[in-house]
Amino acid sequence: MDNKWEMLPSSSEEREKIWTKNRTFAGDVWFRFRRKPTAIAGFVLIVLLLLFALLGPMFTKYSYSVQNLEVVNIPPIMKVFDAPDGNGYLYITQSLKVLRVNPDGTLGDQLKKVREESEMSMTIFDCGGTEVGLYYGQKPYVIADPATKVICSSSTVRNASYLLGTDSLGRDILTRLMYGIRVSLLVAFIAAAVNMVIGVLYGGISGYLGGNADTVMMRIVDIINTIPLTLYVILIVVLLGSGLQSIIVALGSVYWVDMARVVRGQVLSLKQQEFVLAAKTIGSSTKTILFQHLIPNAMGSILVTVTMLIPSAIFMEAFLSFLGIGLQPPLASLGTMCNDATANLRTCPYQMFIPALGICLIMFAFNFVGDGLRDALDPKLKK
């Protein structure tokens, strides 16, 4: 086109046409959601944690429950001594035994004890024909040559057999972490789903019916709301006995109150709108109006409430398990792992900090996603 200022013919139809791409509500939400880096980070983190928890156990050769008392409390990064026979390293366990560590970092056999030299404060072990002494006269304990009393040179090695170390019963922490995150997420998702169903039904019915039914139903919610939920969760766990099912039932039955309030508020304002009147005019049943028209429109706030509910459920499960009235051994959850680790926090802090980090990551992830969703779903913030 030579003349850029030439007038083009245009019809009125073309002038009215919306030229930008049509975006659905979900697309719109996704567009705003992904502009928030924290929300995206949380979302990615949740996906990674799910993959870790669901697929991880396929790649591990350990079980979460089988104990191996020979390799108790081995840290992920070990302080080792060079073996005198030149074949790898030696590691002193907390129970004063000596483990051979292969050059690649995997754990080998326990050395055989030869004799006890009490005057020298040494225990003599047999290391491939040569004798080595474990000197326990002072802390930290060292490996020395019993004849010359020269301390073997030490270094640190990554634990290749147990990447995150073992716990106080010799179980692989990495495997337990996978199962722990799995259990924590399972509890949280089921609890959230159950609460969502109860809360949406209760709040929806209460809000839509209105009048006396609404008053009575909301009074009941008021009464439940004054009761500290922690106490009720504890009571339900007492009633059903400790275990996975009772935790799920307990958490599933107490958190719906907030959801019911949110849904009721939404339904109360939505039912005044014209589309409900239109639905009534064409003779839709109450059920259809509630489930086809009102609740889908309230889905935004429902979704936000659910994402915020998941971290509280995870927190409550960890809280109960930490108190010792949640899941029972050998089942692993993040809370029980932290609880098991409190006894030897001084000597093996990694046993506490690894599951603690897991809990923190999950909490961060869900909180960030919840924040992001709330901002994305709020049409007032639409740009």
Partner 1 sequence: MARYFAKRIGIMIIALFMIALVTFVIMHSIPGGPFTSDRKASPEVEAALNAKYNLDAPLPEQFLDYVGGLLHGDFGPSYKYPGKSVNDFIYNGFPVSAKLGGITIVFVLLAAIPMGVVAAVKNGKWVDMAVMALATIGVTIPSFIIASLLIYVFSYQLNLLPTYGIDTWKGYILPVIALGGYSISYMARLMRSSLLEVMGQDYIRTARAKGLPEWKVVTGHAMRNALIPVVTVLGPTIANLMTGSFVIEKIFAIPGLGGYLVNSVTQRDYTTIMGVTIFYATFLMVMIFVVDIFYCLIDPRIKYE
Should residue 273 be labelled a site residue for partner 1 when binding is judged by CB under 8 A?
no
CA pair distance 42, 27, nearest whole angstrom: 19
Write down the least CB distance from residue 219 to partner 1, Å. 7
Write down the least CB distance from residue 198 to partner 1, Å. 17
CA pair distance 302, 313, nearest whole angstrom: 16
- Return the axis-axis angle of helices 229-240 and 299-323, rounded to nearest 10°: 60
Write down the least CB distance from residue 75 to partner 1, Å. 15
Cβ nearer to partner 1, comparing 102 with 253: 253
Instruction: Name the token pair of 50.
Output: 């799910």
Write down the least CB distance from residue 234 to partner 1, Å. 6
Cβ nearer to partner 1, comparing 116 with 222: 222
Should residue 219 be labelled a site residue for partner 1 when binding is judged by CB under 8 A?
yes
Should residue 252 be labelled a site residue for partner 1 when binding is judged by CB under 8 A?
no
**Residue written as token pair 């590691």:** 91
**Residue written as token pair 């972490």:** 177
How is 306-358 classified by DSSP, letter by letter? HHHHHHHHHHHHHHHHHHTSSS-TTS--HHHHHHHHHTTTTT-HHHHHHHHHH
Should residue 349 be labelled a site residue for partner 1 when binding is judged by CB under 8 A?
yes
Q: How far is CA 313 from CA 29, 143, 189, in A?
A: 26, 48, 8
Comparing CA positions, the residue from 173, 157, 148 lying closest to residue 99 is 157
Cβ nearer to partner 1, comparing 166 with 321: 321
Instruction: Name the token pair of 318.
Output: 């960890």
Cβ nearer to partner 1, comparing 37 with 324: 324
Whether residue 140 is preceded by a cis peptide bond, meaning omega within 30 degrees of 0, is: yes
Should residue 331 be labelled a site residue for partner 1 when binding is judged by CB under 8 A?
no
Secondary structure (3-state) at 148: coil
Secondary structure (3-state) at 24: coil
The residue range among 64-72, 106-114, 243-251, 322-330 that interacts with partner 1, by the rule CB under 8 A, is 322-330
The residue range among 97-105, 124-132, 186-194, 221-229 that interacts with partner 1, by the rule CB under 8 A, is 221-229
Should residue 322 be labelled a site residue for partner 1 when binding is judged by CB under 8 A?
yes
Cβ nearer to partner 1, comparing 230 with 273: 230
CA pair distance 294, 328, nearest whole angstrom: 42
Binding mask 278-317 for partner 1 (x = CB under 8 A): ---------------------------------x---x--
For partner 1 (CB under 8 A), the number of binding residues is: 36
With CB under 8 A as the contact rule, the residue among 318, 327, 337, 373 that binds partner 1 is 318
Binding footprint of partner 1 on the chain (CB under 8 A) = 219, 222-223, 226-228, 230-231, 234-239, 311, 315, 318-319, 322-325, 338, 341-342, 345-346, 349, 352-353, 356, 359-360, 363-364, 367
